[in-house]
Every structure is written in structure tokens, then in C-alpha cells.
Structure 1
Amino acid sequence: MAKDKPTKLRARMPRGFADRGPAELAPTRAMLETIRKVYELYGFEALETPFIEYTDALGKFLPDQDRPNEGVFSFQDDDEQWLSLRYDLTAPLARHVAENFDRLPKPFRSYRAGWVFRNEKPGPGRFRQFMQFDADTVGAPTVAADAEICMMMADTLEALGIARGDYVIKVNNRKVLDGVLEAIGLGGDENAGRRLTVLRAIDKFDKVGIAGVRDLLGEGRWENPEAKSGDFTKGAGLDENQSLKVLAFVSLQAGSVELQNVTSSVQAGLAVEGEVLTFRSDAGRESYFIETSRGVLDGLMGHFGDNLTSREGIEELAEIARLTESAGYDRDRIRIDPSVVRGLEYYTGPVFEAELTFEIPDEKGRPMRFGSVGGGGRYDGLVGRFRGEAVPATGFSIGVSRLASALSRLQTEATPEFGPVVVVVMDRDQTAHYMGLVAKLRQAGIRAEMYLGNPKNLGNQFKYADRRNSPCVVIQGSDERAAGQVQIKDLIEGARAAAAITDNAEWRESRPAQFACTEGELVEKVRELLDHHGVPHGAKLA
């Protein structure tokens, strides 16, 4: 009887996850180091929290079903406690501060970089695992902390090579919108779900424009509105008058708004002309303008300042503007923008978003703005969940992968990431000697390795060095060893020379970019070659 063949396991990656190689990891590592330096310049210190937290500590998701899978990856431990992979770096920080509250200095300034996980439907550019880099100040009640975070974000983007004019830090205050929602009858816990739907509708302003937000505030929006096809997103169900008030709030960021006096007895209509709202009614065209010169803050105060919650938020925005402008950060870098709301419920005051304003081609080659690469805000209630009292906190989170993608588009030419110097093996019985050559290079801070595959075929060793993008290889046969010498082959220069040589005999005769030196000169000559090509190498080992 024939034996069953063993089943071969199919190699496959879970949807929404990605492998990352040297070409992506190297620039990301450099970017993280630049961000870290700016954060530390502002006095923030490193903190690391675990990937896994108790599910109830995450705040937004609770184990009220057999498995709490609404947005997070969850499982039970042997004590039947629900655990979840963190979905951001803010909730774990809140738990850490609450757990160590008495021993931490206040304000507590920390930064954290790490992976977060979302149990959501993956799609193009939308992953279930991605990296964030956060900075937060806990224990500072004044908006000076929020202003400082905004200034630090501007400095961070410029340190990464993003020029002024190619980015803007947009600032709003959730209190302003909270007051608007109170005024249209969406206050109280019973309306929490509808408020969140309104927030998410406004948060899509940059993607769908005023018309799209209007649909999402009402019955809902089709993915392809004109054809009424594609996915349908259910709206907040606001009536016309409620929607108009929210749309007036959003549209103030355009600089001017024409508003019609609308009462409950008047059938209101809405026209969208560009990004400026015009409110019309059957009763005529009695209207007024918010002049651009008066500014967004005056417009907000004129429309929504009669609500105490909104007024408090507007006054905080005015203070942030005053602080940032006095420090030299003008409106081109940090500006008040009512379209920013952020999609999470735990924000309680100022909210911010870092947007890149330069254009890139979309899938069809049409120009489009790159958009947001990070955001954050004030969350005075998150730490307080553990302590029964409000603890002021504010912070900002950078989307690492998205920002890295933006930086790659700004580079005029790619900088290759070179691999190690490879010492090839000519004689198997001399492995210890080759190891000694590698050790000399490493002691001098030069990345190096000895070829560890089958050394029988020398051509395969050179192919390996090419695949590793090695700047050079070190060759030593029995004749060179007897003479105390090595051969160094410059693979960078050799590739250039090879492009100009078409005859194999000429190639063998010329041996381009290859030279000899003594073993004692090995480190010096390799270092000269790396410096000539601008290949970085480290400091000498202790």
C-alpha cells in the first residue's frame, strides 16, 4: 500500500498585513530617528508599553459579546480575562499613567513608537497592522500644552525635509462642535451614536467636500453619488435645519460663508457653489456674510458664540493662535480650521491634524493632495477613567507608514541602501583565516560578512554579493595569501565599467575596478572605497 504524500503547507500572508524589506525599513528607521530627536529637543522622554492590554482598559471596546471583536483583535487568557492587541498608543499611555500616577512627574511628557492593530476590513493602503509615533503631555491643563504640540509637529515635518508651504497643522476645538450639536438637540448620552456619526461625516470633508458631508449628515451617501452605486454609508439622519447649522460650522474654514436667516417655519434650500455655502429660502434673500478679513475665529464667535460650550472652545482656539503666532508660527504653518474633528470620541478640547498640501497623481494620473499624516488632540477624560477624576492630557500621533510614503515621493532620486562587504571563500580549509579578515573589518565599524553558502562556485558568491547590494568583495586565494595580500573588487565601479564593455575577452583582461593591497591595508583601502562612493560606515568597535 502506497504511503500518503505529506501535505505541503501553502505559504500565505494574512489579509491586511505586510512584509517589509531593507528598502522600506532603512528610510523608516532614519525617519524615526529624526522624529525622536525633535521630540527629545522639546523635553519628551521615551516610554514603551506592551502590545497587549486588558480589553476594558482600551476604553472604547468592552467584552459585552462572546468575543469583543468590534475593531480590535481579542482573546481570553487562562483566567478568562479578555485581552486585546492595542489599537492605538494613547489608551495604553492612559493606563500607564494611572497605574504609576504618584511616582510620575506632572506634567508627564513621553513619546512612544510602536505597532498598533485594527480588526477592520483591509483595503488598498489600509492595513490591520501599522506603526504610530506619539508624543503626549499628561497633567497640563492649559492650552499652552496644545500649542506646544502643534509647534513641535511643524518642527518635526520640517526636520524631515518637508518645506514650508508643503504642510499645514490644522487646529480646531471639539467644544465648538459640541455646542453646535447641543444647539440642534444632539446633546446627552442618548445621542452619543448620532454625534459620532456626525463627527465622522465632518471628518470626511477633505475627501468628499461639502456636498458629500451634507449627504452623510442626512440619509447617507453612495460611493458613486451620481450613479447611486457602490457602497452606501448610512447618514446621521439630521433634518435640513440641523444639517445647515453643522455645514455652516464646517464651511467657515473656506474663509467666507453666506448664510440665510432660516427659521423652523421656512422651507430651507441649500446650494453648493465651489466650497462656499449659500442658504436660500422661499421667504427671500435676506442674508449676511462673514468677511474673509474678519477671520475664522470671528466667524465662529459670530455664529456660535452664544452657546457657552462653543464660546469656551472658541476662546481656547484664540489663545492657541496667539501663542503659536507669538512664537513665530504663522497661519501658513499652524491655522484654525473648523473642518478638523477627529473620529474618536475621547477628545474633549483642541484637536489637530498635520496635512501635507503638495500634490501627487492619483490612480488615474490626476493631481490630488497627499493629505493627513497624523493627528491628535486633548483627551482630559481618558486617564480619569482609572482614577475617578479628570486628568488633563494632550498628544499627537504620526502615521509612520503614511509619512514615510510621503517622504519617498519628495525624494528627487532614490538613495541606494548598500549591504555589507562580502569576503568570498576561495579555500574551504582557510575558513578561520577568512573569519579573521571579516573581524578586522567589523572592528573598524565596517559592515562585513563571510560567504556562508556552498563556496564551490565562485560565480555564485559574486551573484550573492550583487543581490546583497554589496559595495565591494574581498578575494584571497592561495597565491595572495602567500604574498600577504588581498584583492578588493569595487562592485559599484565595476557595474559602471561593465556597461561600457561588451567583449568577454576584454572583460577578463581588464578586470575593471579590482585592485590589490596588503592585509594590513585592508581596512584603510575598504574605508577609502566606501568614502569615495558615499557609503556610510560605523565607528570603530570598543
Structure 2
Amino acid sequence: MAKVKKAPRPKAVTPKGFRDYFGNDVTERTEMLHQIAGVYHRYGFDALESSAVETVEALGKFLPDVDRPNEGVFAWQEDETDWVALRYDLTAPLARVYAQHRNDLPTPYRRYAMGPVWRNEKPGPGRYRQFYQCDADTVGTASVAADAEICAMLSDTLETVGIPRGDYLVRVNNRKVLNGILETMGLGEDAKRDAVLRTIDKFDKVGVDGVRQLLTKGRLDGSGAFIDGVGLSDDQAEPVLAFLTSRADDTAKTLANLRDAIGGSDTGAKGVDELENIAALLDAQNYGPDQILIDPSIVRGLGYYTGPVFEAELTFEILDEKGRPRQFGSVSGGGRYDDLVKRFTGQEVPATGVSIGVDRLLAALREKGRIGSVANGPVVVTVMDRDRMADYQTMVAELRNAGIRAEVYLGNPKNFGNQLKYADKRHSPIAVIEGGDEKSNGVVQIKDLILGAKIAQNATLEEWKERPSQYEIPRGELVAKVREILASQDADK
């Protein structure tokens, strides 16, 4: 009889493009999302938690750089005709929700949503296939007051989570202005128009001269490779360059420059009027150009934007992987998308919204030193006698009932040193010890693990050596003493 071949053991590896999040990472994200939700709630937005799975038909073809709706997403076939997929953002599901429930929802409908999204794209450094987004949208009003409100709320959100004024800018533009520029160039809905849009999006990287070359005959990039140009004449390229360089020292001058750049385009003129209205509304709320700025270089890539677009950029410097200084860059973007719900209803439903990249914003807060220190773990009640587990559980219950995070060591208690190693790995601030002698005498030992570690690191620090790192106290004073030590540890941070 042939020997049955054992099935190979599964490999314990995270799938490519995904990552695992452990305790402190999850805690930091949860706390930041709670802060953001507080701002959104204050602005009158309601929470929405929609399905993580949508029909491919509902998701549509709005994922960038893909031709088929089930390309770029994680999709599977439910039956012979129907495909479903994990959502790739939180906006397409909102369009479906509003279209489905619009008779029961207020108009305008103001909602925020937070959660993971999935994209079946090639992963790279810092680019994952699953990541968190945090969105806020207003559906059902064409008023640019809704766009201005989103910009104000985004500014408030960044400052609330710990990005101070001066370290960020919310940049605002209008796709109608850009469409007006393209009209003056005689470009319709064709491939050349798309090539111009992609070139404009490179303005921050290549500058005016680089855009001019890419719009016309082409240019050599930094590696020496030649990049073909769009093929426009110098005269055709001029309106684009005038548009990109129209930003001035004050908003009024920027708007005047934009009016010159659009020529006689009615579409462009409407876009400039909307920007002027947004600027006035923000000024009335005391948001200055050091917070929110009209900036014609902001394009935004997704095809469904129909009006104002905005992007939050963090302006402070960080060092890249080669040690070179660079700005942190964008953490949020959005805009008006008046045609998205129309796919379901056949009628235009105006909408505007913004999405925050949660992981990038967390990374920015770490760079600013606002989060990222190792969080304290629970107080650990050690076990000196396994037959007295009830006593230790009584202690931990007292601590928890007093609002103190605590746990009993539940591993093998035979080696006390291993219990302290466990507490160290948990970043525990305090260990509670009660052996047989302590029990008989009605006392417990309280070990300050944070202070003990500091003394161990540098025994010459007299200021620490003068303070005891272990205390013997009456059993009845357990909670009070733990509170006292935790307070002193917080004061030393």
C-alpha cells in the first residue's frame, strides 16, 4: 500500500501587498479616527457604514488606469452573470447607497465614513492593497457653500489631530476652469486632452519649462531618457502655461490671472466665479491663505470630478530614504462629482466630498512627534502561588474597577523572572507581587518597572537612584499606590 503523502504545512506569511497591524498601531489609528469623527460630527455629518462588498456594476469604471471594471479590484463571480468586488474607495458605495435610499434620506445628505478599502494593484514601498480611508460627503446640493464647508472642515480636522497651522495647506482649484482652458485650445474629449491632463499633473515635479517641453516636442528626464511630447504647438501650449502660473500673492490677483487665462470660455468663467465664491465664504469664516489657498496647479486624477477640487498638502520637511529633505506631501483630496449618482438614477445629483488617507496622516503625525511613543501596557499582577489565583484575580478586579488597565499573568508561574520579562515585553508600567510572606503580613510589593528600567540604563543618574523603584504597602492601599506611581510616570514623560 502506497504511503499517504502528508499535505504540506501552510506558510505563515502575510499576502503580498498586505500588512498586519498590532496593538499600538491599532490604538493610534482608533484614537485619530475618533478625533476626526468628532470634527465631522460637529459639522453636522452623520456616520454611515456601508457594505465592504459591492456589485462590480455599482463600482463602475472609475478606478484609475484600468479598462475593465473588475480589473484593479478584488472581484469574484457570484453566478454566471453577476460579479461582486471589494470596494476600492468609499465614494462609489455612497453613490449606490444614496440612489437606493434617497427617498428615506434628507436632502442634502451629509455623511462620513471610515474603513478599509482594497485595490488589486501592484504593491510597492508604502503602497498596500488594503488601506484605510476616512471620507465626508454632501450629496444633493449644487451650492459651492458645500465645497467651502468641506475645505473648512478639512482644515479644522488637520489642526485637531495635531498638524499645526503653517505645516499644511488645503489647495483649491476647479475642473471647470481647466476645462475652459482646454476649450480655448480646441481640445475635446480625446486622447490628446487626456495627455494634456496627465502633463499638467506633473507640474510640481518638472516645473514650467518641463511642462512646456512635454506639451510640445518632449524632454529628457533625469535619467537621460527621452519622453515624447503631446505634440502641441507653442501657441496651443501657452494657455496651459498661463493657467499653471496664474497663482499670485493674493487671491484676488490669482482669480484675475485665471480670467485672463480662460479667454472667452463660458465654462472657464463659471469655474472662476465658483472659486471666487468659495474664497469669499472661507474669508467670512476667517480661514486665511495660510490655511486654504486657491491654487490652479491642483488637478486631481479621477475622471468623475466636475467642479471644485481640493487637496491637503503637508508642507513640513522630512528626510527620504536617501537622507534628502523633501516635503511630506498630500494626505487628503476630493472634489465635486455631480455625475456619479446619475449612473443609478438617470438624473443629475450634485455631490462633493473629501477623502483622508489615514495611514499617511498617521505617518505625518509620527514625523511631527505627535504620536508614536511606545504606549504603556497593563499593570501586571504576578502569580507567586498558583493555588491562590482567586486572590490575584481579586486584585486585578479592584484595579480594573478603578479604571486602571490590568491583567493577571496567565503563563507558567514557576519562573518569576519570566513573569517580569513578560511584563517588559508588554511595556507594563507596574508589577504587583504578593507571595506567601506578603499575604501573611497583609502587604503587597509594587514594582515601578519604568523607573527600574531607567536606573538600569544609567546607574549614575542620582536623581533616579534616590527614588525607590519598589514599594511594600498595606494590601488595602493597592489601588491608591498604583495610581500614584502611574501619575508620577506621566509627569516624567
Superposition deviation, residue 185 in structure 1? 2.9
Using the size of structure 1 for normalisation, the TM-score is 0.83
CA contact (8 A) 1:420 1:470 kept: yes
Segment of structure 1 superposing worse, 355-364 or 407-416: 407-416
- Distance in 2 (alpha carbons) for counterparts of 1:117 and 1:172: 28
Q: Which runs of 5+ in 1 are unaligned?
A: 257-291, 503-509, 536-542
- 1:153 alignment partner, SS class: helix
- The change in CA–CA distance for 1:168 and 1:511 in structure 2 (over 3 A counts) is closer
- The change in CA–CA distance for 1:444 and 1:194 in structure 2 (over 3 A counts) is farther
CA contact (8 A) 1:26 1:417 kept: no
What is the 5 A alignment of 1:434-513?
434-501=392-459, 512-513=468-469
> Could you say which residue in structure 2 is the equivalent of 1:91?
92
> Residue type of the partner of 2:474?
T
Superposition deviation, residue 15 in structure 1? 2.2
Superposition deviation, residue 433 in structure 1? 2.3
> Could you say which residue in structure 1 is the equivalent of 2:463?
none
What is the 5 A alignment of 1:189-268?
191=190, 193-214=191-212, 216-217=214-215, 224-228=221-225, 236=230, 238-253=232-247, 255=248
Superposition deviation, residue 526 in structure 1? 1.2
> Could you say which residue in structure 2 is the equivalent of 1:323?
281
> Could you say which residue in structure 2 is the equivalent of 1:259?
none
> Could you say which residue in structure 1 is the equivalent of 2:117?
116
- 1:534 alignment partner, SS class: helix
> Could you say which residue in structure 2 is the equivalent of 1:539?
none
- 1:50 alignment partner, SS class: coil
Q: Tell whether 2:343 aligns with 1:385.
A: yes
- The change in CA–CA distance for 1:477 and 1:175 in structure 2 (over 3 A counts) is same
Residue in structure 2 matching 1:344, options 291, 302, 305: 302
What is the 5 A alignment of 1:24-39?
24-39=25-40
Q: Deviations 1:196-223 (Å, cap 9, x if unpaired)?
A: 443333223223333443455457777x
> Could you say which residue in structure 1 is the equivalent of 2:369?
411
Superposition deviation, residue 394 in structure 1? 0.6
- Distance in 2 (alpha carbons) for counterparts of 1:480 and 1:92: 61
CA contact (8 A) 1:384 1:390 kept: yes
Superposition deviation, residue 480 in structure 1? 1.5
Q: Tell whether 2:157 aligns with 1:163.
A: no
Segment of structure 1 superposing worse, 112-121 or 407-416: 407-416
- Distance in 2 (alpha carbons) for counterparts of 1:412 and 1:94: 35
Q: Deviations 1:339-386 (Å, cap 9, x if unpaired)?
A: 111000101100001111112222332221111110100111111211
> Residue type of the partner of 1:444?
A
CA contact (8 A) 2:162 2:370 kept: no
CA contact (8 A) 2:251 2:294 kept: no
Q: Deviations 1:94-138 (Å, cap 9, x if unpaired)?
A: 111111101111111111111112222222222221111111111
> Could you say which residue in structure 2 is the equivalent of 1:132?
133
> Could you say which residue in structure 2 is the equivalent of 1:271?
none
CA contact (8 A) 1:170 1:340 kept: yes
Superposition deviation, residue 518 in structure 1? 2.9
Superposition deviation, residue 520 in structure 1? 2.4
Q: Deviations 1:303-362 (Å, cap 9, x if unpaired)?
A: 214101101101101111111112211222111111111000101100001111112222
> Could you say which residue in structure 1 is the equivalent of 2:489?
533
> Could you say which residue in structure 1 is the equivalent of 2:8?
7
CA contact (8 A) 2:448 2:470 kept: yes
CA contact (8 A) 2:169 2:290 kept: yes
- Distance in 1 (alpha carbons) for counterparts of 2:340 and 2:378: 47
- 1:463 alignment partner, SS class: helix
Using the size of structure 2 for normalisation, the TM-score is 0.91
Superposition deviation, residue 162 in structure 1? 2.0
- Distance in 2 (alpha carbons) for counterparts of 1:393 and 1:438: 52
- 1:359 alignment partner, SS class: strand
- Distance in 1 (alpha carbons) for counterparts of 2:50 and 2:408: 38
- The change in CA–CA distance for 1:54 and 1:245 in structure 2 (over 3 A counts) is same
> Residue type of the partner of 1:74?
A
- 1:338 alignment partner, SS class: coil
- Distance in 2 (alpha carbons) for counterparts of 1:293 and 1:33: 34
- Distance in 2 (alpha carbons) for counterparts of 1:350 and 1:293: 16
Superposition deviation, residue 523 in structure 1? 1.6
Give the % identical residues: 56
Residue in structure 2 matching 1:299, options 230, 247, 257: 257
- Distance in 2 (alpha carbons) for counterparts of 1:122 and 1:500: 44
CA contact (8 A) 2:28 2:371 kept: no
Segment of structure 1 superposing worse, 110-119 or 514-523: 514-523
Q: Deviations 1:427-460 (Å, cap 9, x if unpaired)?
A: 1212222222222211222111111212111111
CA contact (8 A) 2:59 2:69 kept: no
Superposition deviation, residue 173 in structure 1? 0.5
- The change in CA–CA distance for 1:219 and 1:99 in structure 2 (over 3 A counts) is farther
- Distance in 1 (alpha carbons) for counterparts of 2:81 and 2:326: 49
- 1:374 alignment partner, SS class: strand
Superposition deviation, residue 241 in structure 1? 3.6
- The change in CA–CA distance for 1:201 and 1:49 in structure 2 (over 3 A counts) is farther
- The change in CA–CA distance for 1:213 and 1:59 in structure 2 (over 3 A counts) is farther
Superposition deviation, residue 237 in structure 1? 5.0
> Residue type of the partner of 1:530?
L
Runs of 4+ residues over 6 Å off in structure 1: 219-222
- The change in CA–CA distance for 1:212 and 1:484 in structure 2 (over 3 A counts) is farther
CA contact (8 A) 2:78 2:84 kept: yes
- 1:515 alignment partner, SS class: strand
Aligned residues: 483
- Distance in 2 (alpha carbons) for counterparts of 1:413 and 1:400: 14
- The change in CA–CA distance for 1:17 and 1:360 in structure 2 (over 3 A counts) is same
- 1:172 alignment partner, SS class: strand
Q: Deviations 1:127-152 (Å, cap 9, x if unpaired)?
A: 22111111111112110111111111
> Could you say which residue in structure 1 is the equivalent of 2:470?
514
